[in-house]
Amino acid sequence: MLTVTVKWQKEVFSKVEIDTDQPPYVFKCQLYDLTGVPPERQKIMVKGGLLKDDADWATVGVKQGQKLMMMGTADEIVKAPEKGPVFMEDLPEEEQVVAVGHTAGLFNLGNTCYMNSTVQCLHSVPELKSALADYPSERKNDLDQTSHMLTAATRELFNELDKSVKPVAPMQFWMVLRKKYPQFGQLHNGVFMQQDAEECWTQLLYTLSQSLRPPSPSDNPDAMKALFGIELVSRICCQESGEESSETESVYSLKCHISQEVNHLHEGLKHGLKSELEKASPSLGRSAIYVKESRINALPRYLTVQFVRFFWKRESNQKAKILRKVDYPLQLDVYDLCSEDLRKKLEAPRKILRDEEGKKLGLKAKEKSSDSKDNDVKMTEAEGPSNGSGESSKPTSDEGSSSYKESNLTGVYDLVAVLTHKGRSADSGHYVAWVKQESGKWIEYDDDNPIPQREEDITKLSGGGDWHMAYICMYKARTI
């Protein structure tokens, strides 16, 4: 090994060893230990110019005992903390949750993964937690006792998850859920049976919609309708007789129907908004086939999409699963699924949103047709929300409340939760929740085991095999 002398500012370091079998970058790391100057800031004068990180020592021509000159600024010395280290386990539970970056998992009480994954997805909605926090402890006169008990149990379970880093046993919630909906208490050979997560999701939202209703229509808007309600307007036409009618209905999720032609969520949603039904035709005096075409007439804060993966197989007399791969985006634009009336309302907010995102990309605002063919815009870092929670760069003034102006909506949504199913049948297999945190990080909630995940792995849950595949996706509105 060679030994050299290195002069840096007023200091001189003698007998610094150089291992000529290693690149000069290793030598620079040695000098970093001595001087505090990072390798990328070091300028070492040698014959022919500056020493490069990957230079060949044989051609550099450094000799034994040679004096080298180094220039560069050292990193600022970090001062010792005034207080000693505080270990996480010594912090209060609420502060531990903040330090960990996610809330607690839920113990499986015996095939209850369908319930745990549903709870974790809905628990990620801050506006729902706010609405539950205001829910009174005493039952309303027009509400049945079991609905009140389930709503109160949901509130308590959400509170417990927020305050704990250790897994929570949702015993009280499960007991009340079974009392309200006995099908979730079915036994087989003395063991509780696996149930359908989508059925649990739907029943829980229905109960909360009854409990969190305002006392009168003149009061604040219906919290659950504003958060999750989708209004559909439908045109029903009989091609034989030419009869036409229209109807309006409210639902809590859109259906993504899966067929051989469906490769993407957007295609499945279009299929789900068009259907055929048989009913009596007054003019024909008999049954006839009617075509029902629906459009979205009012959008919620959180858009829920269910992949219709399960169907009843008559030959085997059991539920079967469609394993086909159906891709879904991190950002979903539903503009072309909306009615003409709703499209007009969305025009102005969409233009503001485009201008905002254009500024982030350094582009000048320009006119652009909203009816874009590329309805599912891929997320990029520049386009992504600055706060990591699916919001636009300008937060709304009523953030955290369940009521908000329809004019804030743009028809663009960001993925915030995915509920997956692994297995071949709805009556077996395993459900897991994948939830985006306020920090923008994703956590896989596999019952009592929260596991950090990368965003690029979330869209790989699209099916096509025996791995976890998306069953329910929840998107959060990007507002202005």
- How far is CA 328 from each of CA 68, 125, 238, 262, 266, rounded to the nearest angstrom? 59, 21, 33, 11, 8
Q: Is 264 a catalytic residue?
A: no
For residue 293, give the H/E element and its range. Answer: strand 286-298
Measured distance CA(28)–CA(34) in Å, rounded: 10
Q: Which two structure tokens, joined as six digits, stand for 155?
A: 């509130």
Six-digit token string for 307: 């992949």
The active-site residue out of 237, 264, 271, 430 is 430
Q: Which two tokens stand for residue 391?
A: 């919001």
Measured between its terminal Cα atoms, the distance across the chain in Å is 65
Q: At what angle do helices 171-180 and 113-123 cross, to 10 degrees?
A: 100
3-state secondary structure (DSSP) of residue 153: helix
Using DSSP's 3-state secondary structure scheme, residue 2 falls into strand
The answer to whether the CB of 385 falls within 8 A of the CB of 414 is yes
For the question of residue 113 being annotated catalytic, the response is yes
Nearest Cα residue to 243 out of 296, 283, 198: 283
Count of Cβ atoms closer than 10 Å to residue 8 Cβ: 20
Catalytic residue among 102, 113, 257, 266: 113
The residue behind tokens 């499960």 is 174
What's the CA gap between 309 and 307, in Å, rounded?
6
Give catalytic residue positions.
113, 430
